[in-house]
Amino acid sequence: MPDGLVRLKWSVNPRGYHITKRDMRGPNAPVKGSAEEVSIRLQGLSGRDVLEYLVSRGRESTEYEAELLQHSIYLDLANSERQPGHEGVLGFVTRWGLLTRDWHRPQALENFIRARNSIIRVLGLPIRDVRPVLEELFSWPGRPGNGLGRLDVRVEVRRGKLQTYFEASSLLQFCALELLRARVGGIDVTVCHACGQHLPLPKVGRPKLYCDDRCKMRAWRNKHRDAVNRVRRQKRPRRHRPV
């Protein structure tokens, strides 16, 4: 898949997002048959009375564009699990936006987490087992296993020439395509030996074991903690007890 053939044009609220609870029995419950209710029913959440939602702060939006693996957004999605509570979720959506097809509509938090867990599962699976997980992730009522959804064909003029490309219909679809492109292109994924974050691991070249120098130093300290503490104790001045 040539670089630039698949792109994402997405919107994110510059004021950020927050998590709110909705009573499914009250006035804020989704209208019967709406896209939101279908999404909830799809994920098996319709039996809950109260659901948590990711909601944007206001109606402002900023649009950005990305090409496959330009920013490795799929790794940011997977690594959002590493932060405590829902900090990782809020950090991801504040930077990249919601995963759903309708970027401006609230997204059920549990749907977000299930989608993220599916991406994480694919990261650790052999190639032959990837397809069933992705089919489960992108199935819709009445159309089980329909693939990754549609890609819209776009035409633009650059430097006086016509160019065509495919545009992803959701951020989740784009992340899945990034993951598949990475696997097809020979990019495997490992984890940082210090903090456990996912890192790209190219087939060619020296493998990267740590996120950065801080993680490298943290791993060294953990490995040599006993020796370092012993040296520190030896250098510590001794206190003379009074006779």
Q: Identify the band that residue 5 occupies on the pLDDT scale cut at 50, 70 and 90.
A: confident
Question: What's the chain's average pLDDT?
Answer: 77
DSSP string, 13-79: -TT-EEEEEEETTSTTSPPTT-HHHHHHHHTT-TT-SEEEEEEESSS--EEEEEETTSS-HHHHHHH
pLDDT tens-digit readout, 95-141: 999 998 887 889 999 989 989 998 898 888 887 888 888 777 776 44
- Which position has the higher pLDDT, 176 or 196? 176
**Averaged pLDDT for residues 191-220:** 71
pLDDT tens-digit readout, 21-44: 887 665 555 444 444 444 444 444
Domain ranges for the chain, please list them: 6-185, 192-236
Sheet holding 151-158, edge to edge: 62-67, 6-12, 161-168, 151-158
Question: In terms of residues, how long is the chain?
Answer: 243
Whole-model pTM over 0.75: no
